[in-house]
Structure 1
Amino acid sequence: MLTQVSISRKMILIALTFSLPIAVLTYLMVVSIDSNVEFAVKETKGNTVQRGLAELLRKVQEHRLARLGCQNGQECEGRLSVLQAEVGQAFQQTQAALDQVGAPLQFTTAGLGARGRQHLSLETMRREWSELTGKLPDADLAAKHDHLASDIRGMITHAGDTSNLILDPDLDSYYLMDVTLLALPQAQERLARVGVLGSAIIRGGKLTRDDQIQLAVQASMMQEADLDRIVASTGTSLTEDPNFYGVRARLQERIPPALKRYQAAASTFIGMSRRLASAERPEVTEKEYLQAEDEAHRASFEFWSVAVDELDGLLGARIASYQDNRNWSLGLASLSVLVACLLAFFLARSIVVPLRDVMGSLGPGATLLGVCVERIAEASKNHFSNPEEATLICEELDAHADGMRQSVLALALQVEGAQRAESVAVEHNA
């Protein structure tokens, strides 16, 4: 089959054959790049869900502290009504996010059940919240608030696990993820619990030894496990930012001021808690203490909002970089195949054109030799004394002519291909 293919086409086939490994490697590279893009896109889906959950956690905790801080019944009722409406909006925001990306993040009955988290459904939390809006004893109220906050954090953890956030591969986004997914939600839950604890201690008027120990431990946890970790992780993210996809100006501009505000508010509340733990009687009023907690709480969520936006920015930069790499890979691979084919074409042309010239000169020569043989044969009948000798000479010349014709046809077959060789044969036989 290949013997009937022209030299130029053979050269192009050779070029395409050697291009096959390039095509295979390009395919594997594109598959790998697309996998990395999908990985990062899934991380952004985790942030989408966490935005709704963070707002829900914030409003539930504000509702809890508002019930503690309300002194006037009418003021309390109005404030709680506003917060209940805001909690409802946060539920709607979370539901919208789950409708959008909940299925791929395994926020389904099967997905939650497979991980032993079947209780972490929005329907369950709506029922828990409905109970909190009713009239409950203070002890039951505190326990149910803690349980609801714990469930919300459980959903945040689930979003981080199934969205690949917890597996983030780049240091700048990994440490910012540590802040938004792990450290800040933990700090926010602890702030609310310590606020409730300190409020109850102040209301009691005198600190027992157990109160002092418990509050001192919580203050140390807020400092070491929460604030110090958040500051360190944020600093690492800012430091590593130039090493991945270039410096992101928005990150460098927005994160430090928000962190500074949170650090100042949290340090104030931690210091107040430590002073309260070291005294026998409270030296701060319940209102002042809850106000300090509220400022730290608000600053933490403001910082979280900035941090999660910048985390999305880092993920977007990574996705864009991967997509650029994919486009360049496809473009360069296509260009290399095209160049290989062009080189094969010009190389074949440099071989075929001279051979075609040779073929053009051999063809008429073979024809002329055949004519000469015929004329010699006719003349030999009249001039040669020995007709057999003349016949032998003519047969030899005719054999040479046939050999030249066969060589021309074989050369035409190699140079022009089977179809063109047939036309050449017809021309020479004519």
Structure 2
Amino acid sequence: MKMLLQPAKQLMNRLTYSRKMFVAGIFLCIPTLLLAYFLVTNIYEQITFSAKERAGVRYASSLDSLLQAVIDSRYAAVWGGKPRIPVDQALAGLAEVDSALGGELGMEEAFKTLKAKLPDSRGGTTRQMIDAHGAFAAELLEMKVQVADRSNLTLDPDIPSYYLMDALITKLPPLADTVSRAAIVAARLSGGPESQAGDRADLLLLSGEMNTLVDALKKDIRTAAGADATIRDRIQKPLLELETAMTAFQKELKGPRAIGLSRAGMEATDAVFRAALQLSPVLDELLGNRISTLQLRMSVYLSLSLLAFLLGIYFNLACYLSVKEGISAVHEAARKVSNGDLTVEARLSSRDEIGETCGMFNTMTDNLRRIIVTLTEVSEKIHANSGAIASTMDQQSGFATQLSSSVVEISSTMEEFSSTASQIALHSQAVVERADKTLEDTKNGAAEVENLTFKVNDISGTIQANLSEIVELGRKSKEINKVMEIINNIANQTKLIAFNAALEAASAGESGKRFGVVAVEIRRLADSVVESTSEIEGKITEILDSVNRLVMSSEKSFQLIQEGQEYASHTVVMLIESVDGVEETTSAARQISLSTQQQQIASSQVVLALKDIEQGVRFSTDSIHRTNGVTEELFNLSEQLRDLVMTFKVGKEGGGQETAPGAEPR
């Protein structure tokens, strides 16, 4: 079935909706028009058929008039006198009828032939005239049968009209001719001069033929009267008159054959023609009624067909307008929705599939409107949060810059401290050498001890300065710890913001996936910052431990130097008194040298740690910059999302129309 409908479906797919309805309307109306055409054509053919029958009845009536004139002329030839109806007059009447109906019935040539055979009544014997009139009467009867055949009278479909036609065509005219011939034969048998031996047999045959025709005529009339009660009285009355005249004529035929025979024959003949004259209008009326009925039926069929056609067009147009209204409503609503107007509704009151489609379309636009409103709120939140994240990252970038500057300053200070420690180491080595030399030169004099006292004083001042610098280094390291705490707090806030951003991205669905990735990267970067600050805090703690040790060492060195000063103060006396004191001084100098070397090593380690801290701060700064770039990209994406949402137009609860929340009206 699908394969059978596929060509028609492909054809319909190429047409617009209006053309589809036009084609469907044509194919729906064509059967109605064809049925109406065939019905009307059939009825029109029946009307034409019946009209031709009426023409045949009129033509046959003219032939009856001519036949009556011919029979009357025959009677005049036998019994003398003038015919009551001149043959020429009757022929002229037939000529008028033939001029009007001969062409329709195809009887023109037959009429010309009949006219050429018209007998001449001015010459010849009585016998010749009787024979000529008899032959002409036979031609008339034959022509009447032709008229019946060519005018469809012999094919009449109705019982009353058919049997009346049969009586008028095949019963009454032959009966009139038979009565006239029987009267003439009876007249010859009555002793006329032209009597022949075979006339009695002819009279018997004619009498039997008359009885047969009368019986057949009675049967036709009774059948027609039984089929149509409205014409019963009108056709039975002439039949009764005819039976009376025929009975009287039959009685005269059996009598002494006097003068009454001619009168009885003429009366019987007149009764036959009167019956024909009375039956012809009845037949014509039946045919007229049939034509009227057929015309009425044709009018009814035409009216019903026209009404069906108009109703078909009306309902087809109604269907077209109904479906077009639905399609136009959906099309217009879809066009407005495609332009971003989500407040439109497809309004249609029909209950068909198009109405259901409009309802589903409205539901879809409502759902889409709610989604757009939700997406608008989400985009606004993303936009605001991305701005906050960008601000926070800017602060972190400032903190990282400050931290980097602080670390650079600490590194510079520690490099200076390392340089100072190197100088102290050199000086302590010189002290050792001096102590050794002092041990050697103790004996050389107090002058050298005095120089040693000055040097020890210088060392004491240097150590005092170094101790101050070491204390300042400890304070700076503690400030670095405070900066690390701030960085940790910023990283924790960044992790919290990234977590909130991840939640918002998850609630946004497909459109928030990219933002979710950005949020994860920000959170991962914050974790890296926390790890880096933890490492920096560990390094700072190591620096503080080293500084504390250095302070302790410096304080111890300071104490030793003070002792050295005391020893130096008493060196002059002690140099003289004991070499052991010099040895102790040498040992102390050596201890000072060892401490200063340790201080130099510790300061080198602090410098290396600060370099590591500086590298970590630089890494943290780069991470913050990358985070700031991701935040800017997130901000741009939120701007694009908000611009996209701005293209839609949504309604509000209280009625009216407005653009998406936070969007500029367009």
- Aligned identity (percent) is 22
Q: Distance in 2 between matches of 1:255 and 1:150?
A: 26
* Pair 1:22 & 2:42 matched: no
Equivalent AA in structure 2 for residue 272 of structure 1 = E
Aligned pair partner of 1:266 in 246, 249, 260? 246
Amino acid at match of 1:150: A
Counterpart code for 2:264? A
Aligned to 1:149: 137
Matched, 1:291 2:263: yes
Partner of 1:124: 116
CA distance in structure 2 between the aligned counterparts of 1:337 and 1:204, rounded to whole angstroms: 78
> What TM-score do the two structures reach when normalised by structure 1?
0.74
Matches within 5 A, 1:64-75: 64-70=74-80
The alignment status of 1:94 with 2:94, answered yes or no, reads yes
Cα distance between partner residues in 2 of 1:395 and 1:176: 99
Q: Which residue of 2 aligns with 1:307?
A: 279
1:342 Cα deviation (Å)?
A: 2.4
1:170–1:339: structure 2 CA closer, same or farther, 3 Å change rule?
same
Instruction: Please identify, of 386-395 and 196-205, the stretch whose mean Cα deviation from structure 2 is larger.
Output: 386-395
| Correspondence for 1:197 | 185
Aligned 1:25-64 pairs, distance under 5 A = 25-64=35-74
Sort the Cα spacing of 1:341 and 1:9 in 2 relative to 1 into closer, same or farther, 3 A: farther
Number of the residue aligned with 2:564: none
Larger radius of gyration: 2
1:183 paired to 2:171: yes
Per the alignment, residue 166 of structure 1 pairs with 154
Tell me, yes or no, if the aligned pair for 1:12 and 1:345 is still in contact at 8 Å.
no
2:224 aligns with 237
Distance 1:229 1:333 in 2: 45
Q: TM-score, normalised by structure 2?
A: 0.49
Decide whether aligned partners of structure 1 residues 121 and 363 sit closer, same or farther in structure 2, where only a CA change above 3 A counts: same
Q: Is the 8 A contact 1:120 1:154 kept in 2?
A: no
Structure 1 window deviating more from structure 2 (48-57 vs 196-205): it is: 196-205
Letter in 2 for 1:262: L
Aligned 8 A contact 2:189 2:200 in 1: no
Q: Which has the higher contact order (CA 8 A, sep 6+)?
A: 1
Secondary structure, counterpart of 1:136 in structure 2: coil
1:210-237 per-residue CA deviation (whole Å, 9 max, x = no partner) reads: 544432232121112x111111101101
Instruction: State the alpha-carbon separation in 2 of the partners of residues 369 and 63 from structure 1.
Output: 106
Contact 1:172–1:238 (8 Å) recurs in 2 = yes
Contact residue 52 and residue 151 of structure 2 kept, 8 A = yes
1:386 counterpart = 2:647: no
Displacement after TM superposition at 1:341 (Å): 2.6
Deviations 1:220-263 (A, max 9, x none): 21112x1111111011011112xxxxx5x4x3332111111011
1:223 to 207, 211, 214: 211
Gaps of at least 5 residues in structure 2 are 1-10, 343-371, 388-630, 649-665
Count of matched residue positions in the alignment of Structure 1 and Structure 2: 361
Amino acid at match of 1:19: C
Structure 1 counterpart SS, 2:141: helix
Change over 3 Å in CA distance of 1:362–1:228 after alignment to 2: same
- The code of the aligned residue for 1:240 comes to A
Flag structure 1 segments of 5+ consecutive residues without an equivalent: 71-75, 113-118, 242-246, 277-282, 402-429
State the shift of 1:327 in Å: 1.0
**Could you tell me which amino acid in structure 1 is paired with residue 275 of structure 2?**
F
Which letter does structure 2 place at the counterpart of 1:98? D
- The answer as to whether partners of 1:46 and 1:159 remain within 8 angstroms in 2 is yes
- Matches of 1:44 and 1:95 in 2, distance apart? 17
Q: CA deviation at 1:6?
A: 6.3
| Alpha carbons of structure 1 residues 67 and 361: separation in structure 2 relative to 1, 3 Å | closer
Match for residue 597 of structure 2? none
Q: CA deviation at 1:186?
A: 0.7
Equivalent in 312, 318, 325 of residue 346 of structure 1:
318
CA separation of 1:9 and 1:145: change in aligned 2, threshold 3 A: same
How far apart in 1 are the matches of 2:160 and 2:105? 23
1:108 Cα deviation (Å)? 3.4
| Offset of residue 69 of structure 1 | 1.8
Inter-CA distance 363–141: structure 2 relative to 1 (3 Å threshold)? closer
Q: 1: distance between equivalents of 2:330 and 2:214? A: 87
Q: What is the distance in 1 between the residues matched to 2:333 and 2:198?
A: 113
Q: Is the 1:120–1:155 Cα contact (8 Å) retained in structure 2?
A: no
One-letter amino acid of the counterpart of residue 220, structure 2: S
SS at match of 2:632: coil
Distance, in Å, in 1 between the alignment partners of 2:240 and 2:208 is: 20
